[in-house]
Amino acid sequence: TGWGLLAPALLWIIAFFAAPLALMVAVSLRSREKGKIVQTWDLGNYANFLENSYFLEGLWNSLEITALVTVLSVLLAYPLAWMIATEVPARFRRLALMLAILPFWTSYVVRSYSWLLVLGKGGVVNQALMWSGAIADPLEIASTRAATVIGFVHFFTMLLTLTIYANLVQLPQNYARAAADLGASRFQTFRHIILPLTLPGIMVGAFLTFVLCIGAY
């Protein structure tokens, strides 16, 4: 009975995840001549990747940016999820969540051009800095790694907010009250009770952020 209930999910995973992944691995072990895949098996593609510094540099840049985006997104998403779950009245939480997922309703292209309007030489940031007298000439922000990180963090913070929020709203409030009765401070309650119990949501969100970000970059 157990295997029967699991069968649909297992078949779905095999058909749409395991099988495509195995096919991709098989294709990576073949070579290409004149635009066609040759039916030979070797590690030439992997050797070519490891022997060329620009491939390795591209991989390192991708991992570096993705790790930075993941860390910053977690640090920004947790307080946001906490405020929605604990500070926002229950009748307004759906509205708050809807506002949090608004970035998912637009494409990467639209968001990228929006950030160009903000970070470009004639954008809001440069205009504000020049108006305040902090700089005399506009800064080159839009075409930098910092701009890439900002754009990704803006998007993935919302994804992490949803996963962390889902954990926070399931925590019984009696846990925090019991900790307070036993003499724990708010920080100790967060460190020893709330954070460990919400860690699964953080890990799931961080994993999704890492996978999606490295693929997008």
Tell me the pLDDT tens digit for each residue of 62-85: 999 999 999 999 999 999 999 998
Q: How many helices (H) and strands (E) does the chain have?
A: 11, 2
Closest by alpha carbon to 190, among 201, 205, 206, 175? Answer: 175
In angstroms, what is the C-alpha Rg of the chain?
23
pLDDT tens digits, 170-196: 888 888 889 989 998 989 998 999 999
- Greater confidence (64 vs 215) lies with 64
Q: What is the pTM of this model?
A: 0.79
What is the token pair recorded at 198? Answer: 């919400």
Give the model's pLDDT for residue 18. 93
- pLDDT higher than threshold 80 for residue 87: yes
- Token pair listed for 89: 């009245």
CA separation for the pair 14, 216 (Å, rounded): 24
